[in-house]
Amino acid sequence: MISRFKIAAVLCAAWACTTAAAKPPAPARTDTTVTFYDSLYANDLPPDSFATLAPVFVPFGAGEKLVFSVQYGLVTAGEATLEVRNLAAIGGRPAYRIISDARTNDFFSKFFSVRDRYESYMDTTALHSLRYEKHLREGKFKRDDAVDFDQAGHRAVYKDKTVPIPPRTQDVLSALYYVRTLPLQVGQSIALANHTDGKNYPLIVKVLGREHVKVDAGEFDCIIVEPILRGPGVFTQSGRLTVWLTDDRRRMPVLMKSKVVIGHVAAILKSYEVAKKK
């Protein structure tokens, strides 16, 4: 049960249920754009098969807060939040400070406590990631990581290494917010450049259809998307992840489900606050 909660915690924070597979570090490459598209070709997914979309509207802003109940089947295991906490400056550029927290409830914490926080700093103009942090507290396990994205220099800068990255790279949290800005149409597939844990990989977002859903926060007409992590030998998909975004200008995630061996893990929106007016 706890491992399934951890899947859902990552689901809300990074909206992708994946596990890193062991692999020796790849040789450094200088053409980072080719690195990204090579990965697409390796999966028989040529770059020109994807929609090239420009953001049409930024539906979020400082003050937006989404609170989810994390459930396995009918059992509530904890709570997760997605929040645009405030505006910050990274390298002199204004950024949305996006925070996701995931935590077990009091009952499950007696057996295994999870208190994870993820932070993404997203450029308010270019809408790509400038910095990403992970602060993990899971049982006795503790880990803190951070990476700064030099988008002009195409580099991901860690405290102990520098990794070349493709243009317009997202982290897994900023990718969700970027997708919210796009004019999504059923049948589209969209490829985004992503970087996490020292590796580049494409995130494919398929737009599956539309559905009316009822959650604790209310009833919503939604557009359904499926994010798929691609990267042979680097990441493996752990079950299917489906996300319901409101089919309006807000593109607010209200439901996220990940299929597991028995049943599914879900993050269900129970309350929300809209962004503060500028």
For the segment 247-267, what is each residue's pLDDT rounded down to a tens digit? 999 999 999 998 765 667 899
Q: Residue 44, Cβ neighbours under 10 Å: how many?
A: 7
Asked if the structure places residue 233 within a domain, the reply is yes
pLDDT reported for residue 264: 77
Asked if the structure places residue 156 within a domain, the reply is yes
Q: Say how far apart CA 5 and CA 118 lie, in whole Å.
A: 16
Asked if the structure places residue 104 within a domain, the reply is yes
Alpha carbon of 100 to those of 30, 172, 174, 175, 223: distances in Å?
Answer: 33, 11, 11, 13, 22
Half-sphere exposure of 233 (CA within 13 A, CB side): 6
Domain of residue 126, residue span: 2-273
Tokens found for residue 128: 């790509």
Asked if the structure places residue 278 within a domain, the reply is no
Asked if the structure places residue 268 within a domain, the reply is yes
Asked if the structure places residue 93 within a domain, the reply is yes
How many independent structural domains does the chain possess? 1
The β-bridge partners of 18 are 237
**What pTM was computed for the model?**
0.83
Asked if the structure places residue 76 within a domain, the reply is yes
pLDDT digits (tens, 9 = 90+) for 137-151: 989 999 999 999 999
Average pLDDT of the residues of the chain = 81
Asked if the structure places residue 163 within a domain, the reply is yes
Residue 111 pLDDT class (50, 70, 90 cuts): confident
